[in-house]
């Protein structure tokens, strides 16, 4: 049965970096009925700069947005093919039509009933996406912020070649803001899953995700026989594959609380302070003695040092964005995050 492009189910996969989103994506990618993208932020960019294609000026702008993003360049869609596909859309073409045309290009015209779109900034735009892509569903994966920070601390960013984050309080504060943002727009079209449940109760968690994704009139999603994420790993840009070697390994439940030994008492206490009440609300137990083990003065001085270091890192990033001609883009991203 051929599924019309306009009738295919869109699922947006949302997350914080190092929360298990790529592991989840690789498992859903095993379903032949599901087309899973690699990461891009271009759809968020479209929502922020103008999601409707009305004229040739909009066409040029959209082509620049897509082709100007490094992550989208890994989708291996040529500029000519993109321009042709968008130019053929009846005008005005709304966000949903543009997105589906791009997804059809990425999946080479395959008859896929479910599209899973992966991006970190999608959490900033759930309300907008509900209007721009009616019927879409939203899948949010969340992980203990102490585990998120532990992984970010040990992982080198693909663009900077430095640790993704060294400030436990800042990482947890951003995690909590993102979790609150998702909670504010909760609804039957949004499913939140914990990474820890995906690892410790893998089959049941995936069953629940499949049930959430399925829609009447589209093929059912059955559990795949294989569990190897190698195929999805090979689609990830080579410079990022070092971050995702767990895709080809059996999940280890003992790694869920590795942060207890890999983080210092200071880092644990700062992470818990940054996450505030959201930590317990999401079902994560608080280490009640971490602050006492760290010491009040040590916590205060470390927080000050990390705050200054984080400020310095952001200033350096701002200069890098300016050199690359992306400073206004970054300012817009921050403003939408603060207002979301």
> pLDDT tens for residues 22-73?
999 999 999 999 999 999 999 999 999 899 999 999 999 999 999 999 999 9
| Cβ within 8 Å of residue 31, ≥6 positions away | 114, 210, 221, 222, 224
Coil vs helix vs strand at 140:
strand
In terms of pLDDT, which residue wins out, 164 or 101?
Answer: 101
Assess whether the previous peptide bond of 19 is cis (omega < 30° from 0): no
Q: What is the CATH T-level fold of the domain 5-263, as seen in this structure? A: Rossmann fold (3.40.50)
pLDDT of amino acid 161:
61
Q: Determine contact, residues 153/165, Cβ cutoff 8 Å.
A: yes
CA angle, 47 then 324 then 335, to 5°: 35
- The DSSP string of 114-130 is EEEEE-GGGGGGHHHHH
Q: Is the pLDDT of residue 158 over 60?
A: no
The reported pTM is: 0.90
Rounded to whole angstroms, the Cα distance separating 36 from 19 reads 17
Virtual CA dihedral for 81, 90, 49, 112, nearest 10 degrees? -60
- Split at pLDDT 50, 70, 90, the class of 330 is confident
Structure-token match 């960019």, residue found? 45
pLDDT of amino acid 235:
75
Virtual CA dihedral for 32, 33, 38, 44, nearest 10 degrees? 180
Rounded to whole angstroms, the Cα distance separating 197 from 121 reads 23
Q: Which two tokens stand for residue 42?
A: 């271009």
Q: Is the pLDDT of residue 145 over 80?
A: yes
In terms of pLDDT, which residue wins out, 186 or 329?
Answer: 186
**Beta bridge mates, 34:** 114
Mean pLDDT across the stretch 259-280? 97
Tell me the pLDDT tens digit for each residue of 203-257.
Answer: 999 999 999 999 999 999 988 866 666 777 677 777 666 565 566 566 678 889 9
Mean pLDDT across the stretch 8-23? 94
Rounded to whole angstroms, the Cα distance separating 311 from 174 reads 15
**Beta bridge mates, 125:** none
- The DSSP string of 32-93 is TTEEEPPP--HHHHHHHH---B-SHHHHHHHHHHHHH-HHHHTT---HHHHHHHHHTS-SSB
Virtual CA dihedral for 268, 272, 278, 281, nearest 10 degrees? 70
pLDDT of amino acid 150:
94
Q: Is the pLDDT of residue 136 over 90?
A: yes
DSSP structural state of residue 164: S
Mean pLDDT across the stretch 189-206? 95
- Split at pLDDT 50, 70, 90, the class of 108 is very high
Rounded to whole angstroms, the Cα distance separating 88 from 86 reads 5
Mean pLDDT of the chain, nearest integer? 90
pLDDT of amino acid 279:
97
Q: Is the pLDDT of residue 327 over 60?
A: yes
For residue 145, give the nearest of 242, 270, 22 by alpha carbon: 270
pLDDT of amino acid 206:
94
């Amino acid at each position: 049965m051929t599924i019309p492009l306009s009738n295919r189910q869109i699922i947006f996969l949302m997350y914080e970096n190092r929360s298990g989103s790529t592991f989840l994506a690789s498992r859903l990618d095993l379903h032949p009925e599901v087309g899973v993208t690699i990461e891009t932020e271009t759809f968020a960019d479209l929502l922020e700069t103008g999601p409707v294609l009305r004229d040739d000026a909009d066409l040029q702008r959209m082509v620049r947005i897509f082709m100007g993003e490094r992550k989208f360049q890994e989708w291996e869609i040529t500029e000519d093919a993109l321009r042709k596909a968008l130019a053929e859309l009846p005008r005005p073409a709304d966000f949903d039509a543009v997105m589906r045309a791009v997804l059809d290009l990425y999946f080479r015209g395959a008859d896929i009933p479910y599209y899973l779109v992966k991006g970190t900034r999608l959490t900033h735009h759930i309300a907008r996406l509900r209007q721009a892509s009616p019927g879409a569903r939203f899948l949010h994966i969340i992980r203990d912020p102490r585990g998120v920070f532990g992984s970010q601390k040990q992982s080198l960013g693909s663009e900077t070649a430095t640790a993704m984050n060294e400030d436990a309080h800042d990482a947890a504060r951003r995690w909590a803001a993102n979790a609150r943002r998702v909670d504010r727009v909760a609804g039957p079209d949004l499913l939140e899953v914990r990474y820890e449940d995906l690892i410790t109760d893998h089959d049941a968690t995936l069953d629940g995700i499949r049930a959430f994704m399925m829609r009447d009139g589209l093929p059912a999603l059955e559990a795949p026989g294989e569990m190897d994420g190698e195929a999805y790993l090979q689609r990830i840009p080579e410079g990022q594959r070092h971050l995702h070697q767990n895709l080809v390994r059996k999940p280890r439940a003992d790694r869920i609380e590795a942060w207890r030994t890999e983080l210092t008492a200071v880092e644990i206490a700062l992470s818990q302070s940054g996450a505030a009440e959201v930590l317990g609300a999401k079902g994560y137990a608080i280490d009640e003695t971490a602050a006492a083990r760290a010491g009040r003065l040590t916590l205060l001085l470390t927080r000050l040092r990390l705050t200054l270091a984080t400020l310095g890192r952001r200033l350096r990033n701002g200069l890098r964005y300016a050199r690359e001609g992306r400073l206004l883009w970054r300012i817009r991203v921050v403003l939408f995050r603060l207002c979301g």
